[in-house]
Amino acid sequence: MKKDVIFTVPSYFRDDMNIMGYRFGKGEKSCAVLGALRGDEVQQLYVCARLVAFLREVERDGGIMPGKSVIVVPTAIGLSMNAGTRLWAPEETDINRCFPGDAEGSTTEQIAAALFEKLSVYKYGVQLTSFYQRGSFIPHVRMMETGRQNPELGCEFGLPYVYVRAPRTADQTTLNYCWQHAGTQAYSLYAGKTQEIDEAAADQTLRAIIRFLNGRGVIRSEQTMGQKSTVITDGDILSVSSKSAGLLRRVKHAGAHVRRGEQLAFIINPLDGAVKEVLKAPVTGMLFFIQDGPFITEHSPVFQVLAT
């Protein structure tokens, strides 16, 4: 294992923050794995830490294939993790909205530029990411529909779903989008939780990455069988939003199968306990995403239902 300093953020009051990459093998730049780009992505950092430990053992046992190399960057936002903030703490900006970056720009743009220069030369790119809204997903693979996406290859992760999503204008500055346009086969993995460690989902995500690396001939190691993946698009997902604001009491969890009209959650007046709204399933299907915060604002997405 080799340690690379990808970028250094100087500090006047404490040690400089180094963004570290952990490199295994040598030769073709086969796969890059990036973890937390936001300060609350604890689950993403945890999966990458476990991946580094796993690949260290694989390399020790001669399991990195000749002429192949892998790099893992567990986090690029250690300062914000220390401060307990989701966005880059000094500037309140999102690094995953700054790609491909600017070496002469703001700190977040410089970080994005350094990451992109280092990682865009890899054949495959895997990003462990999170949703803009607090909540839990069914673990799945996601990619932008750029004309260069390869959902069939995404099925090699062995997760239940591969979600191909039409990009919005704001998505054009994300790593997944820019990676694809640079020629990297890019995949975003949603690892269940974000702000806390979910051991079962973390293990499922780690095994998916190991499965992909084995399937692509990058490593040789023991692996578990994956699931047969189903490719889905925006048309398969229906959003359930609130009309009212208040306390959110959920009666269903992510992954639950629901029937059309079934109760999903109650929005409650936080002062007198009255039920302001009952959220119901618009179709029969599975809860793909669930907002798990204690409060909800008006017209906010609470659930995503995958129609079956």
Check whether residue 6 and residue 111 sit in a common domain: yes
SS3 assignment for the chain:
CEEEEEEEECCCCCCCEEEEEEEEECCEEEEEEEEECCCCCHHHHHHHHHHHHHHHHHHHCCCECCCEEEEEEEECCHHHHHHCCCCECCCCECHHHCCCCCCCCCHHHHHHHHHHHHHCCCCEEEEEECCCCCCEECCEEEEECCCCCCHHHHHHHCCCEEEEECCCHHHHHCHHHHHHHCCCEEEEEECCCCCCCCHHHHHHHHHHHHHHHHHCCCECCCCCCCCCCEEEEHHHEEEEECCCCEEEEECCCCCCEECCCCEEEEEECCCCCCEEEEEECCCCEEEEEECCCCEECCCCEEEEEEEC
CATH number of the domain encompassing residue 55: 3.40.630.10
Check whether residue 291 and residue 276 sit in a common domain: yes
Considering only 40-54, 78-92, 216-230, 285-299, which range has the smallest mean pLDDT? 78-92
Pick the last residue of a domain from 176, 205, 228. Answer: 228
Check whether residue 109 and residue 255 sit in a common domain: no
The CA distance from 213 to 14, in Å, is 38
Check whether residue 123 and residue 139 sit in a common domain: yes
Q: What is the pLDDT of residue 78?
A: 83
Q: What is the pLDDT of residue 279?
A: 98
pLDDT per position as a tens digit, 98-120: 999 999 999 999 999 999 999 99
Instruction: State how beta strands 230-233 and 161-165 pair.
Output: parallel
pLDDT per position as a tens digit, 66-82: 999 999 999 999 878 87
Pick the last residue of a domain from 196, 228, 260. Answer: 228
pLDDT for residue 13 is more than 80: no
Q: Is 119 exposed, middle or buried (0-12, 13-18, 19+ CB in 10 A)?
A: buried
Q: How confident is the model at residue 284 (pLDDT cuts 50, 70, 90)?
A: very high
- Mean pLDDT over 74-102 rounds to 89
Instruction: Please count the structural domains in the chain.
Output: 2
Check whether residue 79 and residue 48 sit in a common domain: yes
Check whether residue 30 and residue 173 sit in a common domain: yes
Domain carrying residue 286: 234-307
Q: How confident is the model at residue 12 (pLDDT cuts 50, 70, 90)?
A: low
Check whether residue 68 and residue 93 sit in a common domain: yes
pLDDT per position as a tens digit, 247-274: 999 999 999 999 999 999 999 999 999 9
CATH number of the domain encompassing residue 240: 2.40.50.100
| Ramachandran bin of 167, using left for φ above 0, alpha for ψ from -120 to 50, beta for the remaining angles | beta
pLDDT for residue 83 is more than 80: no
Check whether residue 147 and residue 122 sit in a common domain: yes
Check whether residue 40 and residue 184 sit in a common domain: yes
Check whether residue 240 and residue 279 sit in a common domain: yes
pTM: 0.92
pLDDT per position as a tens digit, 139-190: 899 999 999 999 999 999 999 999 999 999 999 999 999 999 999 999 999 9
Pick the last residue of a domain from 193, 228, 263. Answer: 228
pLDDT: which is higher, 192 or 211:
211
Residue pair 199/179 in contact (Cβ under 8 Å)? The answer is: no
The CA distance from 178 to 236, in Å, is 25
Q: What is the pLDDT of residue 192?
A: 80
Check whether residue 205 and residue 275 sit in a common domain: no
Q: Which two tokens stand for residue 52?
A: 């580094």
Check whether residue 26 and residue 88 sit in a common domain: yes
pLDDT: which is higher, 11 or 43:
43
